[in-house]
Amino acid sequence: MNQLQLRHVSGRRLSSLLAEVADTPFRFSDEQRDALAARFRAVPTTQHRRLDAWSVEQGGAEPTPFAWSPSNARRSLGRSALAAVHVGRSPSLAVAVRQEIERVSDRALSPSIPSGSLAVWLVHQRPAVRAIVAAEAVTWATETLECFDDLLVDWEALGSDAYYDVAGARTSLRGRREALVNAPTGRVLVRVRSGAPGASAGAGLRADLVTDALANPLGVAALRIVGLWPDAGIALAVDGTEGNVKRGARGLVRAASVRQGATTQRRAS
Amino acid sequence: MISADRLPTVMDVVRAGRSTRPPRDVDTADQLRAALRRHVPQGELTLRARDLRSDTLSLSHSSLGLLRGTLVTQLLRLASVGYVPQDPFTEAVEAFIAGDDRDEFVQILRDLDRDERDRLAADVAAHAVVLRRRLGTIPPSWFPRTLVRGSVRVAGGHVVLKDTIDLVLGRRVGDTAAVALIDVTTSPLDASAERAGRFHALVHTLRTGVAPLCVATLSTATGDVVRLDVDGDTLTRAVHDVNATIHGAVAA
C-alpha cells in the first residue's frame, strides 16, 4: 500500500496500524544504491550537506543555525532516559534523566569533545537552566512513553537515529526513529514529532523510511513507519513498499537540488 | 484558625478519592469529535482556553501580568523536577530566557527599567511563596510533565483547539482514570476558571483518546485551589462552550 494512513491516537486505533502490515518490504540492491548515489552526485555541492525529513518537508530550505536550548536538548536526553527505564536500568524517568544529564556533562571533561556538543553546552548552564532541561526531557520521555503504551505491543526504544552517507556525494542522510516493533515478518518503525502534521508530513515519513532502509546493512526497508504527533493526537503511517521508498528517495534528491539552486542564486545575487 | 501552611495542597486535592476513581473512559473521544461537527466556520478558527475566560481586562492580561505568569510557570517547571530556587525571580528569568531568548516577553523583560524590574521581582517572589506552600511536593512516580501542548483539529478540520497544560500528572494506562491536569494562574479564580478547566479536559481527551480524572486550578494570587472532576457531563458542557464560541464566530 503506497497511501498514507491516518488514525486518531487511541490504543485500539494505534494497535491496528501494527496489526496489518505488508509481508515483504522493499530491499535496496547494490545497483539501486549506486543509482541513487549518482543522482545525489549530479547535484553539486561545495560543502557537506545534511538532509532529513525536515529538509524534505520544508522543500529543501536551508536549516537555521543550530544552537542548544532546553527544548532541543530534550529528545537526546529523553530518548536515553526512556530506553534506560524501558529495560529496567533506571527506576523512573525523572531519575533516568538526571543520570543522563550527569553522564553527558561528564563527557565535557574529555579533551576530544567538540565545543558545540550538548555536553559542553550543559556544563556551562546555570543550575536553574539545567533543571529546566531536565523538566523538558522528562516531559518528552513521559509523553512518548504514553504513546508507545498505546501501541499495545512490545516495543524497543532506539538509542539513535538512522544515518547514511551517500558515497562520493558529500551528503549525509538522517532518519528519525524512536522505537522499533518487531513484527513476525519484519520491522515497524515508530517516530515521534511535536506539533501537528502538515501537508508534507507524508513526504517526511517517506524520507525517514528510505534513510532507515539505506542504513540497514541488508538494505531492507521497514514494513511500515508510523509517525506519531502526540500534541495533535494524530498518527500517520506509510508502508515500506517500493513505491514509498522511491518517493522518499526522490523527495531527498529534490530537497538537495532545491537547496543547491537557492545557494547558487544567493551567490549570483 | 487554620494557617495557610495547613490548607490542603494541590497534591492533596488531586490525591483525594483514590479509592473511588471512575473507570478509564476511552469511548467518549469519538462522541465528542462528532458533537463538534455541529458548527463549521468558513476558513479556519483557532480557539484557546483564554477565549473562553471572562472578557474583563485585568493586570493578569497586561504585558507585565503575562510576563509574571510566564515566570511563575517556570517556577512550577522547576518544582516538577524537585528543584528549589534560592532566588525565585532570578532563576525563573534564567530558565525562561534559556527556553527562548527570542520570545516577545524576553524583550519586554530586557526593556524594564530598574524600578519596574524590582516591582516585578517582588511580585514574582510573592507568587512563588504561594506556589511553594500550596502546590505540595510532586512525587516523581506520578510522571509529572510540564507545558504539555495540544493542537487538535475539529469541525471538519476548520477549527483548531490549542491548549497548554501547566502540569500533567498520572498515566493514562490502567483500569481507572488517573490523569490530573493542573492549571496555575496568577489571577484570582472566577467562574471562567471552570470553563477553562472544561476546555483543558476536552482538548486532553481529544488528543489522547482518554478522559482525564480531574482538572485542578491553583491561584497564586489568593492561594485558592479548586478541583473539577471530569465526567461525561463535564465534557459535554465543554463541547457546548466550544460550539457556542464557534457559533458566535460564524454568526459574526
Q: Name the pLDDT band for B4 (thresholds 50, 70, 90).
A: low
Residue B59 pLDDT > 60: no
Cα dihedral A243, A247, A249, A252, rounded to 10, equals: -170
**Using one digit for the tens of pLDDT, what is the confidence trace for B14-53?**
998 888 899 988 889 999 999 998 777 788 899 998 887 6
Distance between CA B196 and CA A245 in Å, rounded?
45
| Residue that is written with C-alpha cell 522547576 in the block | B78
Instruction: Give yes or no for B224 touching A (CB within 8 A).
Output: no
Q: How many CB atoms lie within 10 A of CB A41?
A: 15
**Using one digit for the tens of pLDDT, what is the confidence trace for B65-77?**
889 999 999 999 9
Q: Name the pLDDT band for B85 (thresholds 50, 70, 90).
A: very high
More confident site: B245 or A39: A39
Q: Which residues contact A197 (CB under 8 A, 6 or more apart)?
A: A227, A229, A232, A234, A236
CA A91 distance to own-chain centroid: 26
Q: Name the pLDDT band for A10 (thresholds 50, 70, 90).
A: low
- Long-range Cβ contact pairs of B236-242 (< 8 A, separation 24 or more): B236/B35, B237/B198, B238/B198, B238/B199, B238/B201, B238/B202, B239/B32, B239/B35, B239/B36, B239/B202, B241/B52, B241/B195, B241/B198, B241/B199, B242/B36, B242/B47, B242/B52, B242/B154, B242/B159, B242/B161, B242/B199, B242/B202
Residues of A with CB under 8 A from a CB of B: 8-13, 69-71, 92-95, 97-98, 125-129, 131-132, 134-135, 138-139, 142-143, 145-146, 149-150, 194-196, 230-233
- B198 burial (CB, 10 Å; 0-12 / 13-18 / 19+) is buried
Q: Name the pLDDT band for A1 (thresholds 50, 70, 90).
A: low
Q: Which amino acid is at B68?
A: R
Nearest-by-Cβ selection for A129 from B81, B95, B172: B95
Distance between CA B51 and CA B64 in Å, rounded?
20
**Using one digit for the tens of pLDDT, what is the confidence trace for A204-233?**
999 999 999 999 999 999 999 999 999 999
DSSP string, B210-232: S--SEEEEEETTT--EEEEE--H
pLDDT in the model for residue B56: 46
Residue A78 pLDDT > 80: yes
Residue B58 pLDDT > 60: no
Give the torsion sign (CA, A179, B170, B199, B129): negative
Distance from CA of B148 to the nearest CA of A (A): 8
Does the predicted interface ipTM exceed a cut of 0.85?
A: yes
pLDDT in the model for residue A55: 95
Distances A225 to A115, A136, A219, A221 between C-alpha atoms, Å: 34, 26, 15, 9
Residue A169 pLDDT > 60: yes
> What's this model's pTM, rounded to 2 decimal places?
0.93
pLDDT in the model for residue B2: 45
Q: Do B173 and A149 touch (CB under 8 A)?
A: yes
Cell of B167: 502540569
Residue B55 pLDDT > 60: no
Mutation target to probe the A interface, by most A beta carbons within 10 A, among B96, B137, B149, B163 is B149
Distance between CA B145 and CA B150 in Å, rounded?
13
Q: Do B94 and A126 touch (CB under 8 A)?
A: yes
- Which residues in chain A have Cβ-Cβ distances shorter than 8 Å to B209? 8-11, 13, 150, 233
Residue A265 pLDDT > 80: no
pLDDT in the model for residue B100: 74
Distance from CA of B82 to the nearest CA of A (A): 9
pLDDT in the model for residue B191: 85
Residues above pLDDT 90, as percent of chain B: 69
Q: Do A128 and B100 touch (CB under 8 A)?
A: no
Residue A121 pLDDT > 50: yes
Give the number of A-B residue pairs with CB atoms closer than 8 Å.
112
Q: Which residues contact A81 (CB under 8 A, 6 or more apart)?
A: A90, A93, A96, A97, A99, A100, A137, A138, A141
Return residues 68-97 of B near A (CB < 8 Å).
74, 77-78, 80-83, 85, 91-92, 94-95
Question: Contact at 8 Å (CB) between A192 and A208?
Answer: no
